[in-house]
Chains A and B, each alone.
Chain A
Amino acid sequence: MERLKTELCGIPLDNPVIPASGTFGFGYEFAELYDINILGTFSFKGTTREPRFGNPTPRIAECPAGMINAVGLQNPGVEAVIREELPKLRKVFHKPVMANVSGFSVAEYAETCAMLAEEEQVGWLEVNVSCPNVHGGGMSFGTDPVAAAEVTRAVRKVTAKPVILKLSPNVTDICEIAKACEGAGADGISLINTLQGMRIDLKTRRPVLANVMGGVSGPAVFPVALRMVWQVCRAVKIPVVGMGGVSSPEDVLEMMMAGAAAVEVGAANLRDPYACKRIIEGLPAAMDKYRVQTIKEL
């Protein structure tokens, strides 16, 4: 549908809806349910250079209007992703995919990104400097403008493909970090990753999550995400991908009205595996209702 079309960092999107990393695996679970080619694109499971099992379980807890996770970047490592996951994905998804990358050192980020950028399927690199659930990496790069810029520069050097930095909301001034990434050559910014939180089991008086703390997502964080997207859109000139609690076509429009160029959908996919399909199908009616002619006008 023409009126849903947009683009992200020069790559056309049929619509602005993008399942967020960590909630969509490598796509096949969802491809069994619906044709995932209806998506704008999707951001695949956060990939690191080495395979990772992640944190001990329980990794998941309920919270009001959302959930907390401490998965800890479980993934088979970049070599297995390229050797096994991407060929399987090619059979069910025929659009450029967003490769989500995490790391524990600047060199590791660069190396993993370089390997994935070589893959023809990969359209964008989404560099996660914001995972709250791993120690000695992830978020520590996203909470300091100097470190965030350093990761950006290193990744920028290894690829000409669009580089999008995924930022953490667990900072005092997200605009400062976004500007540092822009200054270091980022093509885009995506935000927000999860907000740090925790729960205690009243019966056992112990934290619910084995990792004690985790990242809060779901509708509960939507207003916080929207506010930060708004702030970052005003601070940088590069496109911003908005995410955090998006669950409906109306949420997509609201994020885009705040300035987002595209919108990622995370936790909603776990509650409702058809969430993205329903959002895309519901967009035209929501646009009619709020007198939005085309997505691009927002």
Chain B
Amino acid sequence: MQECELTILENRPVARQVFQMTLKGAGPCRPGQFVNLLLDGLYLRRPISVFDAEGDLLRIIYKTVGRGTEQMSRLQPGAVLNALTGLGNGYDLTPAGDAPLLLGGGVGVPPLYLLARRLQESGKQVKAVLGFNTREEVFGEEDFRALGCEVTVTTADGSYGKKGFVTDALPEEYSYFYTCGPEPMLRAVYRTAKGSGQFSFEERMGCGFGACMGCSCKTVTGAKRICRDGPVLTKEEILWND
């Protein structure tokens, strides 16, 4: 974890209610990690997953779902944000194998991008399935393609790509999987996807660095803090309540 003052270079919409922000001045971030942003007039920081990181540049993609993210969407280039960067455990790339599968749903897609980049850079052939509700919400397809990934897009209403959920577009062959998305999607992946993989979770956080126990969940190996011991858990660790 590192405290940084980040300068906004760009903040633009990339899909309905979805914005991409480019920031300068960040500490190092690994795939699957997140940053925690301090916003004017709000007490708690807002945790946002990292879409891409290079040098001290950081890109995040966020959906306007509440006061914090709505406020972020109105910020202009040049504005400075206090941030804690490099939070969370991130994805473990070691078990990826030769042909890892990435399954992203909605704003669960962003953390998979930096992961895809690192995997492609290390010579893996990444397959990505990106799921959205509808055409207007689709983003990231070209970014993943530009990395050389094999990309399939699904929409629940069939307005773009393949109709259905990410679990309706699972390829036959893959070496390992990584996923991030809303909990119903993660549960569906848990039930359907064969083999082992890693899941990235979302939870309301107090601190984002493991001090407050605000985001704990039960796992096979005991209570874990989503912010610090997660947000990535392996399939074997997950303990769904039902």
Interface residues of A, Cβ cutoff 8 Å to B:
22-25, 29-30, 32-33, 45, 53-54, 57-67, 69, 71, 74, 218-219, 267, 269-274
> Closest CB of chain B to A71's CB: distance in Å?
5
A270–B43 Cα distance when bound, in Å, is 10
Residues in chain B near residue A25, CB distance under 8 A: 210-213
- Choice from A30, A57, A63, A66 contacting B211 with Cβ under 8 Å: A30
Q: Does B204 contact A57, Cβ atoms closer than 8 Å?
A: yes
Q: Does A270 contact B211, Cβ atoms closer than 8 Å?
A: yes
A53-B218, A54-B213, A57-B216 known; A269 and B43 CB under 8 Å?
A: no
A25-B210, A32-B1, A273-B84 known; A53 and B216 CB under 8 Å?
A: yes
**Complex interface residues of chain B between 123 and 145 (CB less than 8 A to chain A):** none
- Choice from B38, B214, B217 contacting A60 with Cβ under 8 Å: B214
A53-B223, A218-B43, A273-B84 known; A71 and B212 CB under 8 Å?
A: yes
> Closest CB of chain B to A167's CB: distance in Å?
21
What 8 A-B pairs have minimum CB-CB distances, sorted nearest first?
A270-B207, A60-B214, A58-B204, A74-B213, A60-B206, A29-B210, A270-B206, A60-B204
Residues in chain A near residue B67, CB distance under 8 A: 62
A258–B219 Cα distance when bound, in Å, is 46
Residues in chain A near residue B206, CB distance under 8 A: 59-60, 67, 69, 270
Q: Does A60 contact B43, Cβ atoms closer than 8 Å?
A: no
Which of chain B's residues has its CB closest to A73's CB?
A: B213
Q: Does A67 contact B43, Cβ atoms closer than 8 Å?
A: yes
Q: Does B214 contact A71, Cβ atoms closer than 8 Å?
A: yes
A29-B210, A32-B1, A60-B214 known; A271 and B45 CB under 8 Å?
A: yes
A274–B211 Cα distance when bound, in Å, is 12
Residues in chain B near residue A271, CB distance under 8 A: 38, 43-45, 207
Question: Is B209 in contact with chain A by the CB < 8 A criterion?
Answer: yes
A67-B43, A271-B38, A271-B44 known; A59 and B214 CB under 8 Å?
A: yes
A32-B1, A59-B204, A60-B204 known; A71 and B213 CB under 8 Å?
A: yes
Question: Is B203 in contact with chain A by the CB < 8 A criterion?
Answer: yes
A75–B200 Cα distance when bound, in Å, is 24
Question: Is B205 in contact with chain A by the CB < 8 A criterion?
Answer: yes
Q: Does A269 contact B211, Cβ atoms closer than 8 Å?
A: yes
A54–B213 Cα distance when bound, in Å, is 9
Q: Does B216 contact A270, Cβ atoms closer than 8 Å?
A: no
Residues in chain A near residue B205, CB distance under 8 A: 60
Residues in chain A near residue B228, CB distance under 8 A: 29
Report which residue of B3, B214, B215 has the largest number of chain A beta carbons within 10 angstroms of its beta carbon.
Answer: B214
A29–B210 Cα distance when bound, in Å, is 7
Residues in chain A near residue B209, CB distance under 8 A: 29, 273
Residues in chain A near residue B43, CB distance under 8 A: 62-67, 218-219, 267, 271
Q: Does B42 contact A57, Cβ atoms closer than 8 Å?
A: no
Q: Does B216 contact A60, Cβ atoms closer than 8 Å?
A: no
A71–B210 Cα distance when bound, in Å, is 13
A237–B84 Cα distance when bound, in Å, is 43
Which of chain B's residues has its CB closest to A55's CB?
A: B216
A29-B228, A57-B203, A273-B84 known; A69 and B212 CB under 8 Å?
A: yes
A53–B216 Cα distance when bound, in Å, is 8
> Closest CB of chain A to B207's CB: distance in Å?
4
Q: Does A67 contact B216, Cβ atoms closer than 8 Å?
A: no
A33–B3 Cα distance when bound, in Å, is 10
Q: A65-B43, A69-B214 are in contact. List 16 more A-B contacts (CB 8 A).
A: A22-B213, A25-B210, A25-B212, A29-B228, A30-B211, A54-B216, A58-B204, A59-B215, A60-B205, A62-B43, A64-B43, A219-B43, A269-B207, A269-B211, A273-B1, A273-B84
> Closest CB of chain A to B91's CB: distance in Å?
21
A32-B1, A66-B43 known; A74 and B211 CB under 8 Å?
A: no
Residues in chain A near residue B217, CB distance under 8 A: 57
Binary contact readout B22-38 vs A (1 if CB under 8 angstroms, 0 otherwise): 00000000000000001
